[in-house]
């Protein structure tokens, strides 16, 4: 079946499959199960990542120490897990899934663009630093990464950009009001104790 038949329509993938290969209700059910499994895995991955990011930021003094406390027996940052999970649950209950997906996309693309910029900066400022991996074809590869992320971000809607700006403002406020005073990143590491 040619794709042009569905161009410009609101047909979902399950409708396209039913029209092209038949199968009645089988395809919509299988695709719905696949969508639920895929969405669940993505949400859990994002949550686990955010919990660990807050854990590291807390150890660096950028967010309160609550996020770096771990359970004695399991080693899991329990408070961070509960807070992030509750926050995600509230967002999921109040904001449409498409808007959440767009917000996640713009945040992820921005983070990827920053990583590419960091590669350029580190190559320039610390060219001889030992690295486990060197990006090939630098500076072309990181510049292409920044350009591609920027291009995809540009295609996102105005509401997504407004939400992104609000999150960035909130993050800068946390940094300005808390992180800048408590950060341990620019303090010299304490000298190790020696035995006499």
What does each C-alpha distance from 155 to 22, 58, 148 come to in angstroms? 35, 34, 11
What is d(CA 59, CA 78) in angstroms, rounded to the nearest whole number?
A: 15
pLDDT at residue 190 greater than cutoff 90: no
More confident residue, 43 or 69: 69
What would the pLDDT profile of 35-59 be if each residue is shown by its tens digit?
889 988 988 898 999 999 999 999 9
Sign of CA dihedral 83, 84, 86, 90: positive
What is d(CA 31, CA 121) in angstroms, rounded to the nearest whole number?
A: 44
More confident residue, 102 or 27: 102
- Average pLDDT over every residue of 75-83: 92
What would the pLDDT profile of 104-127 be if each residue is shown by its tens digit?
899 999 999 999 999 999 999 998
- Average pLDDT over every residue of 12-23: 71
What is d(CA 161, CA 167) in angstroms, rounded to the nearest whole number?
A: 10
Q: DSSP for 104-123?
A: HHHHHHHHHHHHHHHHHHHH
3-state secondary structure (DSSP) of residue 71: coil
- Residue 4, pLDDT score: 72
> Residues 117, 146: contact at Cβ < 8 Å?
yes
More confident residue, 23 or 117: 117
- Residue 189, pLDDT score: 58
What is the overall mean pLDDT for the chain? 87
Task: Please give the span between the terminal C-alpha atoms of the chain, in angstroms, as a whole number.
Answer: 82
How confident is residue 196, by pLDDT bands cut at 50, 70 and 90?
A: very low
What is d(CA 169, CA 108) in angstroms, rounded to the nearest whole number?
A: 17
Choose among 50, 33, 149: nearest CA to 91: 50
pLDDT at residue 16 greater than cutoff 80: no
Choose among 63, 68, 91, 92: nearest CA to 79: 68
More confident residue, 196 or 61: 61
DSSP state, 63?
A: S
- pTM metric for this prediction: 0.73
């Amino acid at each position: 079946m040619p794709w042009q038949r569905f161009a410009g329509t609101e047909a979902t993938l399950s409708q396209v499959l039913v029209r092209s290969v038949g199968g009645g209700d089988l395809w919509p059910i299988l695709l719905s199960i696949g969508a639920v499994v895929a969405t669940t895995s993505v949400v859990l991955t994002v949550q686990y990542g955010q919990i660990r990011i807050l854990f590291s930021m807390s150890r660096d003094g950028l967010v309160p120490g609550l996020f770096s406390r771990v359970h004695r027996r399991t080693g899991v940052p329990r408070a961070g897990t509960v807070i992030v999970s509750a926050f995600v649950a509230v967002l999921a209950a109040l904001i449409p899934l498409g808007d959440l997906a767009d917000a996640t996309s713009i945040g992820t693309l921005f983070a990827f663009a920053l990583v590419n910029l960091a590669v350029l900066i580190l190559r320039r400022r610390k060219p001889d630093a030992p690295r486990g991996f060197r990006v090939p074809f630098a500076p072309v590869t990181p510049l292409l990464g920044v350009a591609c992320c920027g291009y995809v971000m540009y295609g996102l809607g105005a509401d997504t950009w407004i939400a992104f700006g609000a999150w960035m403002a909130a993050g800068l406020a946390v940094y300005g009001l808390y992180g800048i005073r408590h950060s341990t990143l620019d303090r010299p590491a304490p000298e190790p104790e020696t035995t006499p």
